Chain A
């Protein structure tokens, strides 16, 4: 959160601040990367300034060009001042123009023509950046070299080596720095923003490992044959595999800095440095692609999982609606089925009554009516018996159920709905519970129903909205008690009396069957359900379930 805010503040900075920052950074980078340079000029196998400028112009806009120009020229001047080499003023200006305008064009092309995704979220984006860079870098390098050659400091014999050095320097600079700039700038897409401690430790571990491996490779050898260079692939590719593009870039940056530091410290011969940087370039390309592919896979996997989750939610929703419809349909069918015999019974009784009251009474006919009425009552009783059998559907499926796990599942189910009303669900299980003998699905229904009612009641509360569910062992360990508390405004006294009767409801769209069905279920389990308390501070329902007998 604070990170995001900080970045947003950064965005609001005026452009000249960014420009000046880029300029200063370019000069500083040029100074610290001053390794194996040629004739005291910025002709060297690591030129991070270009990579930084390219990245910044891509994300901040093309108007950074003057600052880039100044930074580039400043870097050349600073390099020659530091080495004491005397160069004509044309060389830094020409070189600065070549580099700045070249990368400016590249950035413009990538931004406006190719329109790459600045967060580098697909291999396609990375390929396009590399493609444009592969064309621009040789051109820029030749022009830069021409500027130096024209104004003296580079001799004809040095040209091929100098060209190679410039190309490699720019390429490695871009490979390491440009993606880092783009990734840092992409809002919220940085992998580690808001990551847990374990992830941070792992990233730090990878960085330390890379430093150690780099020092190991160079520390062990006194020659310029870096046969152990390939050892670097292992940790850096692993970093990329574990942490995607961001991992690859962090690993590359650490490796590059460590390597250049070592090489500068020990004053390695320039050709060896160029060779090493070429190797590092291959390493960079490899792990950047690995990183992007890993990112793509992860995103696809996440999208798939999100899709599955949504489908599952929809299924649950559908099941709920279907169940409600089924209840409605059943109630309607039942009403019709019972209405018929009721109609008949009423008619027969009225007929019998009238026949007996008549003068003279017609006893035989009255008897027939009464007999037929009884037949109709039996018919109605049969309907109710069939319904009971349908509801019971054979033997109840009872098993030893972990009450705590059941409660947790139900809370997970109810969570989303509760969140919508800004109601918090809290589960208390103070002590381990014995398993209960229950039909898992039925008891889940009962608990879910109580929690939903409670969440709905709490939603009306202006205060801290929460529903507490507590599970304890009662009756000397022979039963588990479930308590569901809300902090709603309580149940009206006139409703309380017939709370568990069917069709008693306080909800505008409720059927009033929830508590009635809950009581049927709990009592069928050999348990009890009751209203523990209800006042203006809240309501508490409790029910018990017998503990499953241990089989001996």
Chain B
């Protein structure tokens, strides 16, 4: 027990007895557990939350655990999903993992296995969150560039020399040097390599 609440863990199971039991058990591991009786109820409450992880039963009336997994992926949610099932078979597990499920556990679940799976899921979630916030910061910095600075940055990252950039933009080499320095400051890039990385992260995130 770390004494510090981790999570949140969104627990989704249609059977009240199982839901309460798992919630109680997980709370002894200091997870902040929020329980839902259906995938729809969870989506209505936290459809756009970007931290934590989901523990869902596969077989539920309405949206199944697999359906929820696909729906979250469709929404671009960073929430990892741990699926739990009463009677799983290999094809179902393969389908779930292919669809991006974090883990696939069989009932009655061993609490340590479930906790380990949740911790892996939370780590994944944290990594995804971190990556997401880094991109957001870069985007904020990039927004501060003037139009000319952005132009110069694009050409620098593409590997053009100052002379070449000056020629292409019809500027003096000195002026280009000035813009380039501004870019390095505003993008908080210590080196050309760091600037190229930032541009790549921006490009990947669209």
Q: Are A343 and B24 in contact (CB under 8 A)?
A: no
Q: Are A354 and B18 in contact (CB under 8 A)?
A: no
Q: Does B151 contact A (CB under 8 A)?
A: no
For A340, the chain B residues whose CB sits under 8 A away are 15, 17-18, 86, 107
Q: Are A372 and B20 in contact (CB under 8 A)?
A: yes
Q: Does A347 contact B (CB under 8 A)?
A: yes
**Chain B residue with the shortest CB-CB distance to A350:** B111
CB distance from B28 to the nearest CB of A (A): 4
Supposing A332-B87, A336-B86, A343-B107 touch, asked if A358 and B28 sit within 8 A by C-beta, the answer is: yes
Contact string, B35-64, partner A, CB cutoff 8 A, digits 1/0? Answer: 000000000000000000000000100000
For B17, the chain A residues whose CB sits under 8 A away are 340-341, 344, 372, 375-376, 379
Interface of A is mostly: helix
User: CA of A369 to CA of B24 in the docked complex: distance in angstroms?
Assistant: 7
Q: Are A372 and B18 in contact (CB under 8 A)?
A: no
For B87, the chain A residues whose CB sits under 8 A away are 332, 335-336, 339
For B111, the chain A residues whose CB sits under 8 A away are 346-347, 350
For B22, the chain A residues whose CB sits under 8 A away are 343-344, 347
**Chain A residue with the shortest CB-CB distance to B84:** A343
Contact string, B65-86, partner A, CB cutoff 8 A, digits 1/0? Answer: 0000000000000000000001
Supposing A339-B86, A342-B107, A350-B111 touch, asked if A372 and B28 sit within 8 A by C-beta, the answer is: no
CB distance from B84 to the nearest CB of A (A): 8
Supposing A340-B18, A340-B107, A344-B17 touch, asked if A365 and B24 sit within 8 A by C-beta, the answer is: yes
Q: Are A348 and B24 in contact (CB under 8 A)?
A: yes
**Chain B residue with the shortest CB-CB distance to A357:** B28
User: CA of A354 to CA of B30 in the docked complex: distance in angstroms?
Assistant: 11
For B24, the chain A residues whose CB sits under 8 A away are 347-348, 351, 365, 368-369, 372
Candidates A332, A341, A348; contact of B25 at CB < 8 Å: A348
For B29, the chain A residues whose CB sits under 8 A away are 354
Q: Are B21 and A344 in contact (CB under 8 A)?
A: yes
**Chain A residue with the shortest CB-CB distance to B19:** A344
Q: Are A348 and B1 in contact (CB under 8 A)?
A: no
User: CA of A261 to CA of B194 in the docked complex: distance in angstroms?
Assistant: 130
User: CA of A341 to CA of B18 in the docked complex: distance in angstroms?
Assistant: 7
User: CA of A355 to CA of B86 in the docked complex: distance in angstroms?
Assistant: 26
Q: Does A403 contact B (CB under 8 A)?
A: no
**Chain A residue with the shortest CB-CB distance to B114:** A347
How many A residues are at the interface, by size bracket?
20 to 34
For B18, the chain A residues whose CB sits under 8 A away are 340, 343-344, 347
Count contacts on B: residues with CB < 8 A to the other chain: 19
Q: Are B109 and A351 in contact (CB under 8 A)?
A: no
Q: Does A345 contact B (CB under 8 A)?
A: yes
User: CA of A368 to CA of B23 in the docked complex: distance in angstroms?
Assistant: 13
Residues of chain A from 356 to 387 with CB closer than 8 A to chain B in the complex: 358, 365, 368-369, 372-373, 375-376, 379
CB distance from B108 to the nearest CB of A (A): 4
User: CA of A373 to CA of B87 in the docked complex: distance in angstroms?
Assistant: 22
Supposing A332-B87, A376-B17 touch, asked if A342 and B108 sit within 8 A by C-beta, the answer is: yes
User: CA of A348 to CA of B22 in the docked complex: distance in angstroms?
Assistant: 7
Supposing A350-B111, A351-B25 touch, asked if A358 and B86 sit within 8 A by C-beta, the answer is: no
CB distance from B1 to the nearest CB of A (A): 7
**Chain B residue with the shortest CB-CB distance to A362:** B28
User: CA of A365 to CA of B21 in the docked complex: distance in angstroms?
Assistant: 12
User: CA of A379 to CA of B22 in the docked complex: distance in angstroms?
Assistant: 17
Residues of chain B from 131 to 189 with CB closer than 8 A to chain A in the complex: none
**Chain A residue with the shortest CB-CB distance to B17:** A344
User: CA of A339 to CA of B108 in the docked complex: distance in angstroms?
Assistant: 6
Q: Are B107 and A351 in contact (CB under 8 A)?
A: no
**Chain A residue with the shortest CB-CB distance to B15:** A340
Q: Are A376 and B21 in contact (CB under 8 A)?
A: yes
**Chain A residue with the shortest CB-CB distance to B16:** A344
For A347, the chain B residues whose CB sits under 8 A away are 18, 21-22, 24-25, 108-109, 111
For A348, the chain B residues whose CB sits under 8 A away are 21, 24-25
**Chain B residue with the shortest CB-CB distance to A346:** B108
CB distance from B110 to the nearest CB of A (A): 8
CB distance from A428 to the nearest CB of B (A): 47
User: CA of A355 to CA of B30 in the docked complex: distance in angstroms?
Assistant: 11
User: CA of A267 to CA of B104 in the docked complex: distance in angstroms?
Assistant: 108
| A interface residue numbers (CB < 8 A to B) | 332, 335-336, 339-348, 350-351, 354-355, 358, 365, 368-369, 372-373, 375-376, 379
7 contacts between A and B (CB under 8 A): A344-B22, A351-B24, A351-B27, A354-B25, A358-B28, A369-B24, A372-B24
Given contacts A346-B21, A347-B18, A350-B111, 17 further A-B contacts (CB under 8 A): A339-B87, A340-B15, A342-B108, A343-B107, A343-B108, A344-B17, A345-B21, A346-B111, A347-B25, A351-B25, A354-B25, A354-B28, A368-B24, A372-B17, A372-B20, A372-B21, A376-B21
Q: Nearest 10 pairs between A and B by C-beta?
A: A347-B21, A344-B21, A343-B108, A347-B25, A351-B25, A354-B28, A343-B107, A344-B17, A339-B86, A342-B108
| B interface residue numbers (CB < 8 A to A) | 1, 15, 17-18, 20-22, 24-25, 27-29, 59, 86-87, 107-109, 111
